[in-house]
Amino acid sequence: MQVVEKSSEGLSRVFEVTVAKDVLASKLDAKIKDMAPKMNIKGFRPGKVPAGHVRKLYGKELMSEVLQEQLNETSQATLDQHSIRPAGQPEIKPVGDIEAVIKGDADLAYELAVEQMPSFEPVDVATLELKRPVYEPTEEEVNEQLENILKQTKQYDVKGGKAPKAADGDKLKIDFLGKIDGVAFDGGAAEGAELVIGSKQFIPGFEEQLIGAKKGEERTIEVNFPEDYGAANLAGKAATFDITVHEISAPKDAVADDEWAKGLGLEGLDALKGLLKGQLEQQYTTAARFKLKRKLLDILDEKHSFELPARMLEAEFNGIWQQVEQDKAQGQLSEEDAAKSEDELKAEYRKIAERRVRLGLVLAEIGTRANVQVSEQEVAQAIAQEARNFPGQERQVFDFYRSNPAAAAQIRAPIYEEKVVDHIFTLAKIEDEPISKEELLADDED
């Protein structure tokens, strides 16, 4: 292998790599020698196929494999030889007639263009000073959450009296039997079913016809299944339902007590309040971490200045700008952005892209020096979480990430970032700072 550096400008470097045709021929011979004893071709005894015949049948295909292997090996060797940490996937551009190379008549020559990671000394994270916002939920907030649950929870009391009648909003316990043309159909019967009139649990017209029904009454109603009903054998059909009303209950305001809390699956009211307080604490802890991380990123951005890889920066900006154009086309730009010219917007969003790239490189360098690792189990758990967002398509999601390394890397990246941030938090000097709820939950400027 012969390597000549053709250009070096900033972080960009271009090399011309040449692999002699004799080396390629030797690699091809070795591949044929290894392959021939394993072949079974008509006209030859198993394992006795001549190398020349293998070359005639598969020489071009095998040489293509040799070239790909040599491109991978020699490009990596070039990077290692010049101690280059690539900032992205290097670009390989063949030089000369590739067909002549495949035929064995020419050396393999190609240009290797690569952007290297910038060299910089990251800040000593142990010297960083941060203030962590702290806010504790009050009893009043817990009670507010309790009231919200009460409003969403309906309780019912069985109607008393000699002949209570069902009204809109009442809950009934009924038996029913559905028939089409006098014949019962599958799935059209139930015993002890609970139905709230007005809830639209049943097909249109069913619930309304039970208004005025009395406890113990037997009633037959007539309905029509919607044309778009899920069961094709029932869609658009007229049907009757024979109904027996066993119990009628009227809604009442829920009362926050132990019995009500037990109905929600908890030991009592105190347990429910403890659960609500814990949920609020988690919400506020998450918000506090977000603000603390934002302060950390601001400091890291302020303390580092170095040349950014041009292609990496351009890719980041293009991704941001694509979203801006999409928002603009859908009329979703903020009023502030909508009032600016395209040049002004591009200048602002390019600064955002620069910040993101710079911070990404800084966090990566800090993480590398601290040997921060993301395990395969952590990635698998994140993919499983993503798969749960697509019920019924979980297998396709797993297969997608398994066969797309770039997509898997996008899953791994935020996990790595959070672990590096956690590492910094363990070393930095952090002081708790009590703040108001309004300050904690106020939106930070993007």
pLDDT in tens, 232-276: 889 999 999 999 999 999 998 888 899 888 988 999 999 999 999
User: pTM of this prediction?
Assistant: 0.69
434: left (phi over 0), alpha (psi -120 to 50) or beta: beta
The span from the CA of 15 to the CA of 51, in Å, is: 36
| pLDDT score of 175 more than 90 | yes
CB contact set of 263 (below 8 Å; sequence gap of 6+): none
- The mean pLDDT of 279-289, rounded to a whole number, is 96
Write down the residue that tokens 């363990």 correspond to.
Answer: 426
pLDDT digits (tens, 9 = 90+) for 399-424: 999 999 889 999 999 999 999 999 99
- The mean pLDDT of 40-59, rounded to a whole number, is 76
| pLDDT score of 72 more than 80 | yes
For the chain, the structural domain boundaries read 2-115, 154-252, 285-441
Class of domain 2-115: alpha beta
Query: Confidence band (pLDDT; 50, 70, 90) for 446?
Result: very low
Class of domain 154-252: alpha beta
CB contact set of 133 (below 8 Å; sequence gap of 6+): 287, 288, 291, 292, 433, 434, 435, 439, 440
Q: Compute the mean pLDDT over every residue in the chain, rounded to the nearest whole number.
A: 92
Query: Confidence band (pLDDT; 50, 70, 90) for 75?
Result: very high
Comparing C-alpha atoms, which of 143, 165, 5 is closest to residue 84?
Answer: 5
Query: Confidence band (pLDDT; 50, 70, 90) for 40?
Result: confident
Using alpha carbons only, give the angle 131, 136, 138 rounded to the nearest 5 degrees: 155
| Paired strand residues for 239 | 223
| pLDDT score of 53 more than 80 | no
pLDDT, greater one: 85 or 47: 85
pLDDT digits (tens, 9 = 90+) for 365-391: 999 999 999 999 999 999 999 999 998
Q: Which two tokens mark 167?
A: 């009204």
Spell out a b/e string for 25-61, using b for 16 or more CB atoms within 10 Å of the CB, else e.
eebbeebbeeebeebeeeeeeeeebeeeebbeebbee
Of the ranges 28-37, 95-104, 162-171, 206-215, which one carries the lowest mean pLDDT score?
A: 28-37
Helix pair angle (405-427, 269-303), 10° resolution: 90
pLDDT of residue 445: 54
pLDDT digits (tens, 9 = 90+) for 306-331: 999 998 999 999 999 999 999 999 98
| pLDDT score of 136 more than 90 | yes
The CATH number of domain 285-441 is 2.60.120.10 = no
Percent of the chain with pLDDT over 90: 75
Query: Confidence band (pLDDT; 50, 70, 90) for 444?
Result: low
The span from the CA of 181 to the CA of 170, in Å, is: 30
Q: Which two tokens mark 116?
A: 């290297």
Residue 321 half-sphere exposure, CB side, CA atoms within 13 Å? Answer: 18
- The mean pLDDT of 290-306, rounded to a whole number, is 96
